Chain A
Amino acid sequence: MTRRLALIALPALVVATAGAAAQPAPRDLTPAPRTVEVSLTAAPARLSLVPGTTTDLLAYNGTVPGPVLEFREGDHVVVHFRNDLPVMTTVHWHGFHLPFPSDGSPFHPVAPGETYDYEFDIPPGTAGTYWYHPHPDHETGWQVAHGLYGAIVVRAPDDPIASLPERVLVLSDNRLNPDGSLDLPDPGSHAGVVDRENGREGPLLLVNGQEMPELEIRSGEVQRWRIVNASAARMYRLTIPGHPLLWVGTDGGLFERPVEVPDITVAPSSRVEVLVRGTDAPGSRLVVFDLPYDRYIPQTRRKGWNCPRRLLTLRYTEEPPRRQAVEIPATLRHVEPIDTSRVTATRLAVLTQGMINGRMMDMKRVDVDAPIGATEIWQVENLVGMDHPFHLHGFRFQVLDRNGVPEPFLAWRDVVNVPSHETVRFVVRYDDFPGKWMFHCHILDHEDHGMMGVLQVSQTGEK
């Protein structure tokens, strides 16, 4: 595999340094209003993740992460995808509510050299931060580890904080050998088994593809950070010393009222929006940390797992403090609760190590069958000593309670972390789109080894 990859990569070698800024959006190919048409190509690329070395990666449009795609509510989106990888892939539009053939799940693989058009509408009320990544059966972790991931921003016409300066932070981690190549152990080796069980983590923390980048803020300014966790398994607990964060959004965008938090936890594949208030003096600098998070018990953690890790430098510009106070609205967005009086079924998903309900993924099996338009509760129970972030394709949901404690506020999510030996219940409505939708642990090693199931949504009476 490595040799084949290298041969294909050589003619088109591009040695570039990934930038701290999120990658720019590709050109819109159509003048049609309310339609966004872009080209996206996945191909081998040689990039520098650590100064002084290069790494053979896979990249969307030549960069890691891939370009930030920007859509507006109501847009019609067409993505012309080309697979120039030597392996089969898909592009999954993580968190989007879209027709089944455009979900990019393992049911619609794109072979090497082939193209596939993903086409969908962005529904009103879904403004938020999303991301795209491959989702082939058994190979997602391998492909994401090679650099295939990118952020998506969906904007609303009535966003109350649209005027704030904004940053997209795509967080990922990796493990490199001294020569810069990816450290991907043989699956049968001890290191391979540990990766498979715990989820692959690495000491190299990247923000928009760069180690310890420097971000600027002006004193007195308030910035909106959209944070995407594109890591295979790492839980981030991001903190800015001396700067309480104002948490304003989850996977599906803004929630009703801002919540001040000392740090913010971002589970694998989930997104948060926080406001960062520039309360320090011009010219000052500080380090933004990823605090330790205890997500598993086995004694196979890497050394220093319980130490804070440096993520990026926040540098205050020399400009004089911004004098004009920034008003943050008390109400950001009304989140309409899903009507629980219409619930017709409760689905039980018991998470153990590598399995859901005692079963491993089988593409030929349907695990849950539901009529289109139904409102259902999912009760997700984690029976083992490791957290599992649970993701449902196609339909966003609202968490009702955790261990019986009602959720303090309404928010839209498409992934919820279910901590060790805990239970989370959420409510979801299967609107619009029949199809086979995956539900799975978003620790990519777990997903790839079968911790996934299929929800079939059908027209009433159809089987």
Chain B
Amino acid sequence: MNERMRTTAIAAISAVALLAVAGAARHPGGGEPKPDPQVLRGRQMVLEHGCADCHGGGTNPAAPGFLAGMRDTLGQFRIGPFITRPRNLTPDNTTGLGRFSERQIFNALRFGLRPGETPDVEITSTTPGQGNYPLHPKYLAVPMPWPAFRHMADEDLRAIAAYLKRGLKPVRNLVQDSDGPPDFWASEYTAEKIGTYPAPAYPTANEK
């Protein structure tokens, strides 16, 4: 290989290498962009926990209106004199969760606090007025099963928030707010009725 040939070969190899580097930057690992593992984990959690059974789409993420909230009155719940309406969980700005932070969604799942009525802060206590836990907490309406979901691991709840915010396309679907006086559900969510978070240490009197 003479000098000229060597120079040409180096240039060609360099060009290929550059292209490869550029391609890797666009598509890590080559081919299609790889989904964020946190978003995928969140999708798994959402499907396992049947979120879309109430919030739209059932168990099929390809179904129209998947997680976009109730579409007609068949999807609502009558709780005593009040009506609960499963809301739009897609990241649409004014009708969905688009303007809520992942931390607010995490706080909804961990503490049952309504994202639209709770400051966007890290909460470190479950005692009202302490550790950023609101003095007058506003809870998600019954039957949202957050008292069960709150026992999921932090990273799983964060993954759900990541999936709802970053893994879904926004769908505009305005769901009328659920009924109920502002302090109504507070009396339903006392430690006597739903237990504590974290759960009591194992084993309790029922366990061995």
CB under 8 Å from chain A, chain B span 81-138: 81-82, 93-95, 99-101, 104, 114-117, 119-120, 136, 138
**A334-360 toward B: CB 8 Å interface, digit per residue (1/0)?**
000000000000000010111101111
Task: Give the chain A neighbours of B94 by CB distance below 8 A.
Answer: 381-383, 421-423
* Nearest residue, chain A, Cβ from B93: A381
Give the complex CA separation of A457 and B66 in angstroms. 45
Structural contact, A193 and B174, CB atoms closer than 8 A = no
Judge whether B179 is part of the interface by a CB distance below 8 angstroms: yes
Determine which of A298, A354, A359, A421 lies in contact with B181 in the assembled complex, contact meaning CB atoms within 8 Å.
A298
**A414-430 toward B: CB 8 Å interface, digit per residue (1/0)?**
00000001110000000
Structural contact, A385 and B176, CB atoms closer than 8 A = yes
Judge whether A2 is part of the interface by a CB distance below 8 angstroms: no
Judge whether B155 is part of the interface by a CB distance below 8 angstroms: no
* Nearest residue, chain A, Cβ from B95: A421
Determine which of A197, A299, A359 lies in contact with B81 in the assembled complex, contact meaning CB atoms within 8 Å.
A299
Give the complex CA separation of A371 and B136 in angstroms. 38
Task: Give the chain B neighbours of A53 by CB distance below 8 A.
Answer: none
Task: Give the chain A neighbours of B82 by CB distance below 8 A.
Answer: 299
Judge whether B64 is part of the interface by a CB distance below 8 angstroms: no
Structural contact, B177 and A358, CB atoms closer than 8 A = no
**A284-300 toward B: CB 8 Å interface, digit per residue (1/0)?**
00000000000001111
CB under 8 Å from chain B, chain A span 401-443: 421-423
Judge whether A182 is part of the interface by a CB distance below 8 angstroms: no
Judge whether A190 is part of the interface by a CB distance below 8 angstroms: yes
Structural contact, B138 and A353, CB atoms closer than 8 A = yes
Judge whether A281 is part of the interface by a CB distance below 8 angstroms: no
Chain A residues close to B by CB (< 8 Å): 190, 193-194, 196-198, 297-300, 350, 352-355, 357-360, 381-385, 421-423
Q: How far is the CB of B105 from chain A (nearest CB, A)?
A: 12
Structural contact, B176 and A297, CB atoms closer than 8 A = yes
Task: Give the chain B neighbours of A197 by CB distance below 8 A.
Answer: 182
Task: Give the chain B neighbours of A196 by CB distance below 8 A.
Answer: 182
Judge whether B180 is part of the interface by a CB distance below 8 angstroms: yes
**B172-192 toward A: CB 8 Å interface, digit per residue (1/0)?**
001011011111000000000
Q: How far is the CB of B175 from chain A (nearest CB, A)?
A: 9
Give the complex CA separation of A355 and B115 in angstroms. 11
Q: How far is the CB of B192 from chain A (nearest CB, A)?
A: 20
Give the complex CA separation of A355 and B1 in angstroms. 73
Structural contact, B181 and A194, CB atoms closer than 8 A = yes
Give me 6 A-to-B residue pairs in the complex whose CB atoms sit less than 8 angstroms apart, sorted by A's number: A198-B182, A298-B180, A298-B182, A355-B119, A384-B117, A422-B94
Give the complex CA separation of A384 and B182 in angstroms. 13
Determine which of B81, B99, B136 lies in contact with A193 in the assembled complex, contact meaning CB atoms within 8 Å.
B136
Give the complex CA separation of A423 and B116 in angstroms. 16
Task: Give the chain B neighbours of A297 by CB distance below 8 A.
Answer: 176-177, 179
Task: Give the chain B neighbours of A385 by CB distance below 8 A.
Answer: 176-177
Determine which of A359, A360, A383, A422 lies in contact with B99 in the assembled complex, contact meaning CB atoms within 8 Å.
A383
Task: Give the chain A neighbours of B101 by CB distance below 8 A.
Answer: 358
> Given contacts A350-B99, A383-B116, A421-B95, are A299 and B176 in contact (CB under 8 A)?
no
Q: How far is the CB of A62 from chain B (nearest CB, A)?
A: 37
* Nearest residue, chain A, Cβ from B101: A358
Q: How far is the CB of A432 from chain B (nearest CB, A)?
A: 33
Task: Give the chain B neighbours of A352 by CB distance below 8 A.
Answer: 115-117
Structural contact, A190 and B181, CB atoms closer than 8 A = yes
Q: How far is the CB of B21 from chain A (nearest CB, A)?
A: 37
Besides A196-B182, A383-B116, A421-B95, 15 other CB < 8 A contacts?
Answer: A193-B182, A193-B183, A194-B181, A298-B177, A299-B81, A299-B180, A300-B182, A353-B114, A353-B117, A353-B138, A358-B120, A381-B99, A383-B93, A384-B117, A421-B174
Task: Give the chain A neighbours of B176 by CB distance below 8 A.
Answer: 297, 385
Give the complex CA separation of A423 and B92 in angstroms. 13
Structural contact, B177 and A384, CB atoms closer than 8 A = yes
* Nearest residue, chain A, Cβ from B114: A353
Give the complex CA separation of A357 and B119 in angstroms. 9
Q: How far is the CB of B114 from chain A (nearest CB, A)?
A: 8
Task: Give the chain B neighbours of A384 by CB distance below 8 A.
Answer: 116-117, 177
Give the complex CA separation of A358 and B116 in angstroms. 8
> Given contacts A353-B138, A381-B93, are A360 and B177 in contact (CB under 8 A)?
no
Task: Give the chain B neighbours of A383 by CB distance below 8 A.
Answer: 93-94, 99-100, 116
Give the complex CA separation of A353 and B118 in angstroms. 8
Task: Give the chain B neighbours of A359 by CB distance below 8 A.
Answer: 119-120
Give the complex CA separation of A385 and B93 in angstroms. 14
Structural contact, B116 and A353, CB atoms closer than 8 A = yes
Give the complex CA separation of A350 and B100 in angstroms. 9
Q: How far is the CB of A381 from chain B (nearest CB, A)?
A: 5
Task: Give the chain A neighbours of B136 by CB distance below 8 A.
Answer: 193
Give the complex CA separation of A359 and B118 in angstroms. 9
Give the complex CA separation of A250 and B174 in angstroms. 30
Give the complex CA separation of A422 and B93 in angstroms. 10
> Given contacts A383-B94, A423-B94, are A300 and B138 in contact (CB under 8 A)?
no
* Nearest residue, chain A, Cβ from B116: A352
* Nearest residue, chain A, Cβ from B115: A352
